Structure formats: C-alpha cells, structure tokens
Amino acid sequence: MTGAYGSMASVYDEWMRHLDYSAWWHYLRTTFAIGDSQSILELGCGTGNLTKEIAKDGHAVLASDLSCAMLTQAEAKLRDRKNVSFMLLDMRSLPKALGSYDFIVAACDAVNYLRSYDELEQFLHGARALLKPHGLLLFDVHGPGRMAEFSERPERNRVGVKSCYLWSVALHDTLITHRLTGFLRSEDNRWSRFDEIHLQRYFTPTDIAKAATSAGFTHVQVYDFLSASQPHEKSKRLQFSCSAD
C-alpha cells in the first residue's frame, strides 16, 4: 500500500466528486441500525468525506489512514469537529491499545488494498479484537461487476482546468494494478506531473467469509451495495457486515 495517495491527495475530492457520501452514510446508518452516540473507528478515511457525514451525527470518531497526505487533507477539512480525532494506521496491524468500538468502518474498497489472503486475515483478526460486545464491522469491496468493468474499460482519462489524469488498470488473476499519471496546474500556470501505482486484490465473498470465521466472527452478511439484497454477478460493490454475537 505504500506510495499510493501521495500527490493525488490534493485533487482526490475533485476527481471523486461524483461520490455521494451523504447517501453512503445514510445507507450504513439505516441498514445496520447505527444509533446515537456510538464510538466508531474508521479505517482508510482518505480525505475525510465519509468521516464528515459520520461526525455530523455526533458520534465519537477515530479516523485513520495509511497516507499522511490524505490525513492532512482530512484534518484540514474537519479541524472544527471536536468529536473527531485522527491517526496514521495500518489496517493490517491494528494495536489493541486503540481501545474498543461499537462500529468499525472501512469504506471505498479500502479492504481491496490488502495484498493477500493472509493480510485479509490479519485485518479481520485485528478488527475483531477492537469491537465491543455486539459491535459490528462494516466494509465494502469490489464486486464481480466492477471486475468486469475493469476488464472491458481498462483506460480512462479526465481533463479539467486545474488538473487532469490518465488512468489504466491491468488484471492479473486477482491482482489489480492501477497506474495513474496526473497533471496539476499551479497558480503561475505551470503544469507538474506525478505518477502513482495502486495495487489491490480481489477477494470473493467465500474468501472473506472464510477469513472472517477464522478471525472469530460468527455472523457474516454480504449485500449488493446500497441495498439489503443479495449480491449478484453484476454487483459492482459488495457490502459486508461482520459480528461475533
């Protein structure tokens, strides 16, 4: 995961403005009965867009990410929120000293950045240890529909006034390699280039259920994202909930 979301952090919100984080949080809150005044650990918080929606409801949030650049953006965005704190964290090695939480949330395919089944198990074991009794782990991953989309449309580009990018994806079995070339325009009208490689792994529902059971979760549910329906072959994103009660 090292090296991703460096220079991209400064334009992440612009490039991802099509995402409706308010609707995303509404889905999680209503589908999984997230009540008032909960303690929530957010993994892979990025620039804090979902964090902002969670914080609006008054929950105590520890927002974390592995990218310093993304955390810097998130902290600047939420500096006035007293119920949010930030921490640089690797979701593969979650320290027990973090305490315990009612909910752990890892959104926006953060779990796909785990490189192997072993790393998936490490994450799930760590998360299980941090959940309070009756606590819930919520995360989403790429679905088969997204993988088909990657295969059918492996290249994309975006041209804007202040930034643009060329993006390509290559699939090697379950390994997903994203190659990003971005260009940023400065105030003096000069353009600078940056390149990033983002590596992800595709996990099947069977992989995840097996790893979650190994980690001590007794109830593992999977849904077609933004619904309470079962996933299907065209599902682009899968939503998981895991509990041990």
Whether 110 and 194 map to the same domain: the answer is no
Over residues 18-31, the pLDDT tens digits come to 999 999 999 999 99
Task: Give CA separation, 37 vs 29, 50, 57, 227, in Å.
Answer: 12, 17, 8, 24
Arithmetic mean of pLDDT over the chain? 96
**Inside any domain, residue 1:** no
Whether 81 and 175 map to the same domain: the answer is no
Residue 94 gets the label, from left (phi > 0), alpha (psi -120 to 50) or beta, of beta
Whether 195 and 208 map to the same domain: the answer is no
**Inside any domain, residue 31:** yes
Whether 213 and 230 map to the same domain: the answer is yes
Q: What is the average per-residue pLDDT within 176-193?
A: 96
DSSP 75: H
Residue-level pLDDT at 64: 99
> Cα–Cα distance between 192 and 231 in angstroms, integer?
42
Whether 55 and 116 map to the same domain: the answer is yes
Whether 17 and 41 map to the same domain: the answer is yes
> Cα–Cα distance between 237 and 231 in angstroms, integer?
9
Q: Is the pLDDT of residue 3 over 80?
A: no
Number of domains in the chain: 2
Whether 217 and 120 map to the same domain: the answer is yes
Whether 33 and 150 map to the same domain: the answer is no
Whether 136 and 22 map to the same domain: the answer is yes
**Inside any domain, residue 2:** no
**Inside any domain, residue 106:** yes
Whether 115 and 154 map to the same domain: the answer is no
Over residues 75-106, the pLDDT tens digits come to 999 999 999 999 999 999 999 999 999 999 99
* Residue 9 near residue 67 (C-beta atoms within 8 A): yes
CATH assignment at residue 158: 2.20.25.110
Residue-level pLDDT at 187: 92
CA dihedral 31, 227, 120, 35 (to 10 degrees): -10
DSSP 36: S
Whether 29 and 98 map to the same domain: the answer is yes
CA neighbours within 13 Å on the CB side: how many for 198? Answer: 18
Distant-in-sequence, close-in-space partners of 202: CB < 8 Å, separation ≥ 6: 112, 141, 142, 147, 174, 175, 176
Whether 125 and 180 map to the same domain: the answer is no
Residue-level pLDDT at 142: 99
CATH assignment at residue 67: 3.40.50.150
**Inside any domain, residue 174:** yes
| Domain encompassing residue 192 | 146-200
Give the CA angle between residues 76, 70, 54 to the nearest 5°.
Answer: 65
Distant-in-sequence, close-in-space partners of 236: CB < 8 Å, separation ≥ 6: 142, 143, 145, 146, 149, 225
